[in-house]
Amino acid sequence: MTEDLPLCRLGGLDLNLVKRCWGLETCLPIDPLRWKPFEPRHPNYISPVALQVLSCGQDGIKFIEPTVSQQTVVQRQMRQVLYDAASLIYLTIRRVFEILMECLETDTPLPATCRRLHRKASRIPAAWTCDELLNIFILFLWIIFAVAIFGGYVQLAPRERARNWVYTGSFSL
């Protein structure tokens, strides 16, 4: 696993960030020259000089998790078991669905019926005339107008508009 982590303001690396990034309980950097775990002076911080030494000749720093508590081991194993069980359930449901769809396509008249209905539905819009399309458009405008009136976006107020037209010559309220 690789990850680019930001350095602290002083140029060091906070190991708590590494632990949170990968879900580790403890972590130690590996000394690339001796291939042994490097014990930093501060348990949760690597200084800029130590970073330079640990990354010499390499693209990054390698970390290990030396010791893990029994509780963490159990949690990780349970997480793996739950993940495997969820994958098994998903794959089982998917396979049952595939078998069902294959049965519907091969052993029932459903696909032919669906294709026939789709052909009929695709022929209907082509048969519409210009007058029918205009009527549908006008009906659509009336529906939008009714929704605007009942929604309060448009105020009809014919009496107030007539009075306003008589006195000012304008229909606006």
Write out the H or E segment, with its range, that includes residue 41: none
Average pLDDT of the chain to the nearest whole number: 80
pTM metric for this prediction? 0.42
- Asked if residues 39 and 28 have their Cβ atoms less than 8 Å apart, the reply is yes
Long-range contacts of 15-18 (CB under 8 A, 24+ apart): 15/40, 15/43, 15/44, 15/45, 15/46, 16/44, 18/63
pLDDT at 46: 82
Structure tokens at 81: 């078991």
**Is the pLDDT reported for residue 138 higher than 80?**
yes
Note the pLDDT tens digit of each residue in 97-126: 888 878 777 777 777 777 777 777 666 665
Crossing angle of helices 110-127 and 70-107, in 10° steps, is: 70
User: Phi/psi class of residue 152: alpha, beta or left (left: φ > 0; alpha: ψ in -120 to 50)?
Assistant: left
Structure tokens at 96: 């049952």
pLDDT at 126: 58
Of the candidates 27, 68, 72, the residue with the CA atom closest to the CA atom of residue 45: 27
Note the pLDDT tens digit of each residue in 1-54: 666 677 778 888 888 888 888 888 888 888 777 787 777 777 788 888 887 777
Q: Break the chain into its structural domains and give their ranges.
A: 13-68, 69-111, 137-173
